[in-house]
Structures are given as C-alpha cells and as structure tokens.
Chains A and B, each alone.
Chain A
Amino acid sequence: MTHNTPDLSLNRVPEMGSAPIGSAAEIRLAELWETAPGWRGWLSTVDHKTIGLRYLVTAFIFLLMGGVEALIMRLQLAGPEQNLLTPEQYNQLFTMHGITMIFLYSLPILSGFSNYLWPLMLGSRDMAFPRLNALSYWIFLFAGLFLYVSFPLGEAPNAGWFNYVPFAGLEYNTGPNIDVYALGMVLLGISTTVGSINFVVTLFRMRAPGMSISRVPILVWGTLTASVANIFAIPSVSLAFFLLWLDRRIGTHFFDVVNGGKPLLWQHLFWMFGHPWVYAVVLPAMGIVSDALPTFCRRPLVGYSAVALSTMATMLLGFGVWIHHMFATGLPTLALSFFGAASMVISIPSAVAVFAWIATIWLGRPVFNTPFLFFAGFVILFVIGGLSGVMTAAVPLDFQLNETYFIVAHLHYVLLGINVFPVIGGIYYWFPKFFGRMMNETLGKWSFWVMFIGFNLGFFPMHVAGLLGMPRRIYTYAPHMGWNMVNMITSVGSFVFALGILLFLVNVLVSLKRGALTTPNPWDAPTLEWATPSPPPAYNFAVIPIIASRHPLWEDRLDEGGGRSSLEQGYLLMEGRETLGTTSLDADPDIILKMPDDSLAPFFLGLFSALVFAGLLLHWQNFTILMVLACSLSLAAWMWPRKTLLQRVPDACEEGAAHG
C-alpha cells in the first residue's frame, strides 16, 4: 500500500492494527491531520481542539469584560447618592453586563469545553462537521464584536438583557442601541444553531464502536440536551429580535400597541427561548461536575442513569415553564397556577442530580484538591440557588420579590454557582490535558477560597437587600432607605471575588510556563479523553478504539463484567483524513467518514455574514446585497462536491488505478 495516492474506493474493509507513537503509521496520521503553520493555517484550521480553546479563551475574555462592567456598577452602588455614573451609563452597563454574561460567556464557554472534549470522550478524530465548527466560532467572535462596537460610542444596548417592548421600541429608544442588540443577537443565533446541530449529529454518528448511548459521559448528555433545546428555542429569540428590528426600521406593527400589535408577544417569544436557555447554560456545567467529581471521589458516579435522565427531564420541563417570568403581567390565575406548579416540579430532577453528587462524595474517598473544592463548592451554591428559585416559583412570593435584588441574588447564585464554579473547576481539571502541564495547587486552593468567600460575601446580602425592598436596575439610592450597609458589603464582596478570578488567571499564566509536565492521565480518571497523550496529537486517536464499558480506563479496577475496551488495537483509517461513523444507539461501525481538510471558507462565510448585519445596521443597502452575494459564493464553494471526500463518484481512470 503506497500512501501517496489515498485509497478512494467506495467500499472497503477498514484496516485494523496499532500505531504507537513514532511508527510509520503514526507519522502519516500526524501529517494528514496537522494544520499548516502560519496565518493561513491559523485562519483555516478546523481542528476541534484549537476551536475549543479559542472558544474558551474568547468566552473567558468576555467574562472579564462583563466582570469589569459589574465592578464599575458596584463602585457606583457601594454608597448612596454617588455620581460616578449617569443613569444612562448605568443602564448601558447593566444591559451589556447581562448580555455579555448570558450570551457571550456562559454558553460559549461550555461550547468550548464540549468542542475540545467531545471527540476525545467519544473516541473520534473530530466533530461531525469540522468546518461548521470553525464557522460557529468565527460568527460567535464577530457577533461579540458587533455587540460591543457601539459601547465606546456611548450607544450600547440599554433596555436590559430581556429588552422589553415598548421600552425597546422606536418611540422610547430612538438611537442605534437596540438595533445593535437586535441584529447582533440574530447573528449570534446563527452561531449557536450551527454549533448545536454539530453537537447533535456528532453524538448520533461519531461515537467509537461499542460506546453505546448508555456509555457516554454525562457532559455529553448535558451538551446534547442543551443543543437539542437550542435547535428548538433559538429561532424564537432570533425571530423576536428580527421582528423588533422590522418594527423599528421598516415600520411594521408587531409590538405596536396603537396599531393592534402586542408587547406581550415579545415576552412570550423571549421567554419561550429564555427559559430553556437558562438550562442550556447550566446542564453542560452540571455534566462537567458529574464527570469530574467521581475522579476525585475515586468511584463511579452514583446513579448514572438517573442523572442522565434527569438532565433530559429538566429540559423537557424547562420548555413548559417560560410563563414563570411573566407572573406579574396579569395572566389568568389558572395559567399562573399551572406554570407555578411546573416550576416547582422542575426542582425534582435537579434534586436527583444533587443527591447523586452528594452520594458520590459520601460513598467515595474524596481527594481534596483544587478541582474537587470547586465542584463541592458548586454543590453548596446549587442548593442555595435552587432554594431561592423554588421560593420565586411560588406565585404570591414572586409578586412580592419580582424586580428586587432578591432576583439579582438568585440569578447570580444560579449562574455563578452552576456555571462559573464548575467552569473554573473544569479548567483546573482539564488543564493538563489541554497543555500538558499541571496547574499550581497552592495558588489553586487560594483562588478557590477567595472566590468562594468573596462570592458569598458579595451575593448573599443581595437577598437581604431584596427583602428590604431594594429594586433592581437602579443607578443609585437615597441614604435613609436602610440599604447602605448591605450594599457596601456586596461591593466589597464583589471585589474579593474578582481578586479570586485574578489569582486563577495568574495561576493559568504561571502554570502555562512553569507547571509540572504531566502524563496522559495525571488524575487517574476513568474516561476516554485521558487515554490520549497530553496534549493530544492532531489526530486524537492513533487508532479508533473499541469500547466495552462506561469507564474504559478503570476497567481493571471496577471489573463491571462486559469485557475490556481495546485502546491500543483498533481502526487505523488513514486514507486521507478519516474517522468512523457508527450507528446511533449501539454504535456499530456503519461507514468510513471522509473528513474535510482545513479551509478558509468558514472564516470568509463568517466574515461576510457579519458584514451583512453591519450593512443592515448602517442602512447600506447595496453593501448588504453585495455581502449576501459573497456569502452565497462562499457557501457554494464550501458545498461543492469533492472527490477526496467521496461526495462524488471517482472518474473511470482513477477507479482503475485505485483497484489496481
């Protein structure tokens, strides 16, 4: 077999074997999969690991930007009657803070983990659609920039992240602020949608043979559930924003009360999306914990199936509870009772997960290092956030607490507790896999405690402020309201928390340079990603492994019956970039998938799409049309059937050569 002309036959028996590091086969694989150096490679790479890291870094930068905005707000609110900020500046700050945290940080950071980890956990060489993956990143980046360009000009979105009409309508909001938000969100929606499609198809088609659906890690379940939800829910919010933009710039009447439009339509469309979204940003993070916590408890997760099922149940219910954001809008009482009850029920699957984690810690032999601390801290915050959530699901109480700092406290407990803590813990956990170096433990423990104490110091008193009647979204308050003390504590706590994040960042930078070099599996973890070298080579797995259990790396110890996974011997697949496609449920080998090479098409398609939206924003009609054409051309080039991918039939002469 000469390797200069890859075998392009339409059917073949996949070669089995092994390819240890340094063997001819391994060198060949590296050649096939590695990205070319230089700027071309940088712009054209479709390697899921690079894209995953880009997602992580970009989303983290957005977290820092949103964090700085929050700190400025906390400076303003530290004492009564301060005038660091004007009311308009405060409006823009809390709106941009909300948008940044909700849309540009919390889901993208999880997409970063999943992009990096999925193929490694599933035993594949890449995601189902590598180019789409790159596209989803580029559009995310451009949408983020799009949402931020108007900030320095003082024209940032300013109507809160859920942007209620009529306040967000043209009548009350004449500047470009809301247009930026509306168009930016439609653009970002494209990124999230294609990303979600990629995850779903990857799960159903790209698992290593033998990894039946009941053997995938919980992170995969979490991201899968979130992605399915996104596929259904994103169109709702994109449509809402698009209709708003039409109302504002084309003169339609969807939300225009005078002409029969209904502002409540906005709320329905927004929350039909918004509530599933809240679960989309927590379920994968819960998955991180469900997968990583057992490693530090030295035993498998208690109740794998229950946790997997509760993940999906949460989302199903999540689609039924959007009304609970609208309790105070004057809906019929029957509707309120129904949705109130549904919101209470939703705490059941979450409780299942909490008990599973507690039982895992309880029955295991916990190793108290940094990632463990973050995951355990997460469990505590989850319980507090959940309790205050159940409180607001009670309709009468919600009438009282709606629009106060109690809600602000609740949402930060939920979002920081269930998203930020697992994310930082996850970075500590997978850092050795990403970069081949360990993070510093001492600094790590410090960063955890500073963050944990700062967080509770900062956000717990907000509950009190809320009960004392302090409304949210006020830029200042009078000294005699009795809110001075709680606000001061909150502000101090916020800065302590920020210091914790800073310590974490210092740790990342120091460890990148000087961290101890690691082995493939420094934590002695059970899942497949730890079977690859740290950092993993471009092709991930020299051979596609054959999986026999849920914990391929703990089989010797657990002895769950059911045989041993084969990690050294497996499918070679090296006639060009190739990986194995398997059946959806049982993961039987089904097809040899030809994977695309690096390509500039995703970058350009992303760029041109962003420019379409820029054109719309600036009312440059011809420019917009031109960019639509550019998008179409990029797409046609992208989709053009290729012989190397066997999307079309080989020519007769080549066929002869391939068989000869």
Chain B
Amino acid sequence: MAEAMQTAQALPAGSEGKRSGGWWGMIALIVTEGSLFGYLLFSYFYLASQTEQHWPPEGLPDLLIPGINTLILLSSSIFVWISERCIQSRQMRWSIASMALAVILGVCFVVIQLHEWNDKSYDMAANLYGSLYFTITGFHMLHVIVGLIILLLLLLWLGLGYFDNRRYAAVTIGGLYWHFVDVVWLFVFTSLYLTPYLY
C-alpha cells in the first residue's frame, strides 16, 4: 500500500485548535447568526426608508455614551485575544487575569446599555422605531449575555487548570464567538446610531 505508507506520520488527537470540529461548527454558527442580524438590519432599513414618522422619534441620537460603550466592548475583545496568546506562551496567570478583565468590561457594556434603554422615552410597543430599536439591541444584548456566560465558563475552566498550550480549543472557539458579538455590535451601532446622521 504505497498510499498507506506515506501517511505514517503522527497526527494530533482530540480537540486541537482550529483542526477541531468545534472550531468549524462555531464558524458555521457565526454565519447563520450573522445572517440573522443581516435580516434584522434589512428590516430596519426597509421600514426606515418608507416611514413617514419622526426617525428616530427623539431626534438624532446622542453619540457620547454609546460611543464609549462601543470602545468598552471592543477592548473586551482585545483582552480575550490576549488571554489566548498568554495560554500559547504558557503564562496561565496572565491568561486568567486577562479573561477576567474581559468579563468585567463585558459586564460594563451591559450595565451601560441597560441605562441607555432606561433613558428612552418610549418602549417596544410605543412606535415602529421603538419596536425596531429594542428588538435589534435586544437581540444583541441576548448575544452579549450568552457570550458572557461562555467567557465565565472559560474563566472557570482556566482556573481549574483544564488547558495549557497544547489543548485549549474551547478558549479559541469561545473567544471567536465573543469577537463575533463585538463585530456585530459595530454593525448595529452604525445602523442605529450613525446612519440617522446621513439623512
């Protein structure tokens, strides 16, 4: 068997980083979730382009707090990334610290966003804009919360010493989800907060 001989090389076993099934599954999940947000934003623009109402009802949105919040969320992504790099270079303490920081920043985002919701003078049922605003940011909030639970689990598993530089696929995969949640926010932010300035 000529062909059989040539494959007599050692192969990694188990969930090895980007060769693991989970990594591929996560990418597929992100594609389908990304489409979900695509359809949400499609609905937003479709309805916005035909509306005769005040859009947004309270006038152009204030950008300061949401802008800062965006930076908070993005920086949290950076710390997840650092956490993974630290595993690769076997600095497990730093990895844990960085992951913890990422979680804290994520929680900050949630708190500030809840504040934003509170400040609105309308709710989901008040008008069309409210329906869209709260549904879209609500969907995103749901993803942030799921992402935070994932980060917390990763933190726990890191603390339990489950991973080192040889096996840490869960961190790569969970981290990828968190990056996705952050990138989606950029789209949501652009659509809901920036595009109203264009018309």
Contact = CB atoms under 8 A, between A and B. Distances in A.
Contact of B1 (A13, A193, A566, A639): A566
Interface stretch (A34-42, A74-82, A261-269, A549-557): A261-269
A566 B7 CA distance: 13
Interface string B161-192: 01110110110000000000000000000000
B114 interface: no
A250 B40 CA distance: 18
Which label, helix, strand, loop or mixed, suits the secondary structure of the A interface? Answer: mixed
A260 B33 contact: no
Given A197-B32, A269-B39, A581-B21, A252 B11 contact: no
B131 A254 contact: yes
Contact of B31 (A231, A566, A647): A231
Interface string B45-76: 01100111100000000000000000000000
A412 B131 CA distance: 39
A231 B27 CA distance: 11
Contact of A265 (B13, B19, B36, B43): B43
A243 interface: yes
A260 B53 contact: yes
B149 interface: yes
A37 to B, nearest CB: 28
Contact of A262 (B1, B46, B163, B166): B46
A209 B7 contact: yes
Contacts of A232: 31-32, 35
Contact of A12 (B3, B13, B124, B125): B13
Given A13-B9, A260-B53, A592-B13, A251 B125 contact: yes
Interface stretch (A199-207, A501-509, A601-609): A199-207
B157 A197 contact: no
Contacts of B16: 10, 591, 646
Contact of B13 (A9, A200, A649): A9
A575 B11 CA distance: 14
A646 B12 CA distance: 10
B135 A260 contact: no
B194 interface: no
A578 B11 CA distance: 13
A238 interface: yes
A332 to B, nearest CB: 14
B28 A201 contact: yes
Interface size class of B (residues with CB under 8 A): 35 or more
Given A13-B11, A246-B124, A594-B13, A262 B35 contact: no
A648 B162 contact: yes
Interface residues of A, number: 70
A252 B135 contact: yes
B46 A268 contact: yes
Contacts of B170: 639, 641, 647-648
B177 to A, nearest CB: 12
B19 A581 contact: yes
Contacts of B11: 11-14, 589-592
A259 B40 contact: no
Contacts of B42: 268
A396 B110 CA distance: 53
A649 B43 CA distance: 46
Contact of A234 (B3, B13, B32): B32
Given A11-B11, A13-B8, A632-B149, A641 B157 contact: yes
A235 interface: yes
B134 to A, nearest CB: 8
A232 B53 CA distance: 32
A239 B163 CA distance: 38
B124 A636 contact: no
Contacts of A243: 43, 135
A171 to B, nearest CB: 15
Contact of B39 (A239, A252, A593): A239
B12 A592 contact: yes
Contacts of B46: 262, 265, 268
Interface string B89-112: 000000000000000000000000
Contacts of B52: 260
Contacts of A256: 128
B26 to A, nearest CB: 9
Contact of B28 (A9, A200, A235, A254): A200
A239 B36 contact: yes
Interface string A213-252: 0000000000000000001111110110001001000111
Contacts of A233: 35
Contacts of A132: 25
A10 B8 CA distance: 16
Given A231-B35, A569-B1, A128 B24 contact: yes
Contacts of B19: 581, 590-591
A252 B124 contact: yes
Contacts of B20: 591
Most chain A beta-carbon neighbours within 10 Å: one of B13, B31, B124: B13
A269 B43 contact: yes
A411 interface: no
Contact of A253 (B4, B35, B40, B128): B128
Contact of A16 (B8, B15, B24, B39): B8
A205 B10 contact: no
A253 B4 CA distance: 63
A210 B40 CA distance: 42
Nearest to B132: A254
Contact of B3 (A204, A265, A546): A546
Contacts of B25: 128-129, 132, 197-198, 201
A575 B12 CA distance: 13
B21 A593 contact: yes
27 contacts: A11-B11, A12-B10, A13-B10, A197-B28, A201-B21, A231-B35, A236-B39, A239-B39, A252-B131, A254-B43, A254-B131, A254-B132, A260-B47, A260-B53, A262-B50, A265-B43, A265-B47, A269-B43, A569-B4, A591-B13, A591-B19, A592-B13, A592-B14, A641-B163, A648-B167, A649-B163, A649-B167
Given A252-B130, A647-B167, 10 more contacts: A12-B10, A193-B32, A205-B21, A234-B32, A236-B39, A252-B125, A566-B1, A646-B16, A648-B157, A649-B164
Name the 7 nearest CB pairs between A and B, nearest first: A646-B14, A251-B125, A252-B131, A235-B36, A648-B162, A592-B13, A197-B28
